[in-house]
Amino acid sequence: MTSTILVADDDRAIRLVLSQALSQLGHDVRAASDAATLWNWIERGEGDVVITDVVMPDENGLDLIPRIKTQRPDLPIIVMSAQNTLLTAIRATERGAFEYLPKPFDLRALIGAVERALSQAGQPAPETGTAEGEVLPLIGRSPAMQEIYRVLARLVNTDMTTLIHGESGTGKELVARVLHDFGRRKEMPFIAINMAAIPRDLIESELFGHEKGAFTGAVSRGSGRFEQASGGTLFLDEIGDMPLEAQTRLLRVLQTGEFTPVGGRQTIKADVRIIAATHRDLRQMIKQGSFREDLFYRLNVVPLKLPPLRERLEDIADLARHFLHQTEQEGMPAKHLDTNAIAELKRHDWPGNVRELENLMRRIAVLYSETLIDARIITSALADQDLGVTAVSLPEPNRPAELLAPGEETLGQSVERHLRAYFLAHEGRLPAAGLYDRVLQEVERPLISLSLDATRGNQIKAADLLGLNRNTLRKKLRELDIQPSRGK
């Protein structure tokens, strides 16, 4: 059966390409260069599918959607746009577009969308309605991010369990927040819990709560994150670090929709949307027996893979400007990046991903007085960062650390776990300035004091062990107020 496809785009080339491709498939194509013509056809009851651009000379295509929906609720609308932001994707979807395609689009993707639209025509789109903020929560227009926006726009108004995968600092938590803030649970709490930051034996009570007397120290009943997130979203960060017993319990909640507090008998209904995230290869962990396969499939209903920053270099300039602008809004003087600075940023490998870039821009805003940032400043700020990278930009947790502490964790991992919890406790705000020195002191104190213990208080031997000059060690002892006691 021949279907009629209505196309509206002020770009002649696009009208031509679409007309040719769709006519070849046997469709009848009518193409207009403005919204008014398209509207005329729709009012007259013509067309089986609409493909419309957003920015047209007479009207914004997004504003047309609600009118079309009122007049012809069953007519599927495919929106194409060069304004490739998350908000365009979300707005198109929330107003009832059948599909959103960022420009430039792959013709096959468009044809696929038309075919799906035709096969589903006549079925009303689900009711939607989300926030209309002007803020752009996610920055980046790379094809990889476009794909994320498309999936997010489809996901926001569902309760589907989502698993976000990506290296540290790629924006997993931010994406989880977007899903919450733009979804129908937005008025209810968003609760995040980081499995790597909580002692393993406390995870179950943190998640599900506990009854009084459930374990030593449980002096009263305590609510867990599932209860606190009720009606809202529960973000399970670093799900790969969840112990197997807790995984079994979580799986049961996902299967039954109910949970039982530790030491309790009564079940409680779990009304939460679950979003999980990990930087680990869960499939590999399944093979090794450290992650439950059945839980993986329950969580991985909709997978989202956030690309590392080095694979979307085209986003770096926008992100860097965005972070500089943020510091400006916090009262720092305005700064701009010149083209060489951007080129220099693109040369870096970004092991800490967007977080590393954010920290770099913040450091530049604070430490450099120049208004125009050039390549030299970038190089120097990146070099500073290499000296203190663990304090500000956290390394990938599974990167081999030099110092192996006995037990499961390397020293670097346990410090990182601690720092993560510390940052997490600030709930999106920044801790007080001077963090670098504070963190180093925290590490320095036990290092020096334990080295002195190991050498039975002998400062000469301790200095040798540490590889410090003896005077430097004495100075440190004074600064850190450590009392060396001989012959311990």
Ligand X SMILES: Nc1ncnc2c1ncn2[C@@H]1O[C@H](COP(=O)(O)OP(=O)(O)OP(=O)(O)O)[C@@H](O)[C@H]1O
> Would you tell me which residues interact with ligand X (CB under 6 A)?
138-140, 166, 168-174, 237, 279, 319, 354-355, 358
Q: Which is nearer to ligand X, 38 or 179 (CB)?
A: 179
What's the min distance (Å) between Cβ of 352 and ligand X?
A: 8
What's the min distance (Å) between Cβ of 325 and ligand X?
A: 11
Instruction: Report the Cα–Cα distance between both ends of the chain, in Å, rounded.
Output: 92
What's the min distance (Å) between Cβ of 168 and ligand X?
A: 4
Cα(95)–Cα(113) distance, integer angstroms: 17
Q: Which two tokens stand for residue 9?
A: 């785009």
What's the min distance (Å) between Cβ of 320 and ligand X?
A: 11
Q: Which is nearer to ligand X, 77 or 319 (CB)?
A: 319
Q: Which is nearer to ligand X, 166 or 224 (CB)?
A: 166
Q: Which is nearer to ligand X, 48 or 416 (CB)?
A: 416
DSSP for 251-286, written as a single string: HHHHHHSEE--BT--S-EE---EEEEEESS-HHHHH
What's the min distance (Å) between Cβ of 420 and ligand X?
A: 7
Four-residue CA torsion sign, 410, 416, 417, 418: positive
Evaluate whether 428 touches 181 at the Cβ level (below 8 Å): no
Q: Which amino acid is at 326?
A: Q
What's the min distance (Å) between Cβ of 47 and ligand X?
A: 37
Cα(26)–Cα(386) distance, integer angstroms: 60
What's the min distance (Å) between Cβ of 235 and ligand X?
A: 9
Tokens 């044809």, residue located? 111
- The residue whose Cβ lies closest to ligand X is 171
Q: Which is nearer to ligand X, 319 or 473 (CB)?
A: 319
What's the min distance (Å) between Cβ of 164 and ligand X?
A: 8
Number of H helices, E strands in the chain: 21, 14
Tokens 């025509």, residue located? 121
Q: Can you tell me whether residue 269 is helix, strand or coil? A: strand
Q: Which is nearer to ligand X, 279 or 363 (CB)?
A: 279
Q: Which is nearer to ligand X, 52 or 393 (CB)?
A: 393
Q: Which is nearer to ligand X, 117 or 357 (CB)?
A: 357
Evaluate whether 212 touches 219 at the Cβ level (below 8 Å): yes
Strands 28-32 and 4-8: parallel
Among left, alpha and beta (phi > 0; psi -120 to 50; other), residue 313 is alpha
Q: Can you tell me whether residue 309 is helix, strand or coil? A: helix
Diameter over CA atoms, the chain: 97
